[in-house]
Amino acid sequence: MKQTHIKDLYKLIFKSYDTPSLKEHIKKIMELDAFLPYSSTFFCITNTQNLTFEYISKNYTACLGLDAQELKVHGMRYFWNRIHPDDIDAWLSALNSLMEFTLSEISVHKRKDTNYTWNFRIKNANDVYVNIIQNTTPLDFDSDGKPIIGLAHYTVLDPHIKMDITASAKILNANNEYETLYFNNFSQKLLTEDVSNRERDVIRLLVLNHTSKQISKRLSISPHTVDTHRRNILKKFNVSSTGELIGMLKVNQHWL
């Protein structure tokens, strides 16, 4: 797919007309970045209106070996040019579906509590396509409530890990726990398509070593309901124990 076509589709998805203020957001992110250790994760302030990265953390170069200044100058077009060609159509479909879901299913006042995740492959400085999991939290919105400024965290994973392209949207509940509102697999459909959003939330908390009692409190459901979900999850994944399930999922968490 040509760069101009990607740009047109991306701008259509994120079309907006406001010019947001970034000063305070960027100032605080820069202060935080100075104290963070080097790791396999970097973050950026993304501006989907101007197709720019307003801030790029120091880990960007450590993770991908690429020049942060080049990314700052050339923006999202440069970033897109490094996405694996086989992932572009699914990646754009994921973004479009997330935006359509947000505008139709999430009320304007709740969108600030929503978090989005998707993944793709990108070429690093050694010309190797590595896996990227992008987790984005909206920071600012246009007059129609469409997210246009985001804090995006990018986790870099080994290129040999086979990952379907998926997308999800989660929202913070009254107990400050994320609950899954949306999930879709844009690659080949696997068993994961049969797992409900509530089961995904239970699995995610199990991976974090929470007990059924703790999960029930966080998701505002009864312990009996949690145990029912746990039995159904084991059956769907064809495993005999929670330990076996967690071991399998810890190497493939991006869809949770």
Q: Which domains does the chain have, with CATH numbers?
A: 3-188 (3.30.450.20), 190-256 (1.10.10.10)
Alpha carbon 37 to its chain centroid, in Å, reads 21
pLDDT at 26 over 70: no
Taking 50 as the threshold, does the pLDDT of residue 140 lie above it? yes
Which pLDDT belongs to residue 29?
65
Q: Please tell me the predicted confidence (pLDDT) of residue 191.
A: 47
Q: Where are the strands (E) in 126-203, listed by range?
A: 129-141, 147-157, 166-172, 178-185
Average pLDDT over residues 2-21: 63
- Are 114 and 106 spatial neighbours (Cβ–Cβ below 8 Å)? yes
The whole-number average pLDDT for the span 140-160 is 88
- State the amino acid at position 197 in one-letter form: N
Out of 6-20, 107-121, 204-218, the most confident range is 107-121
Q: pLDDT digits over 167-222, tens only?
A: 999 998 888 888 999 998 888 654 455 788 899 899 888 888 889 999 999 999 99
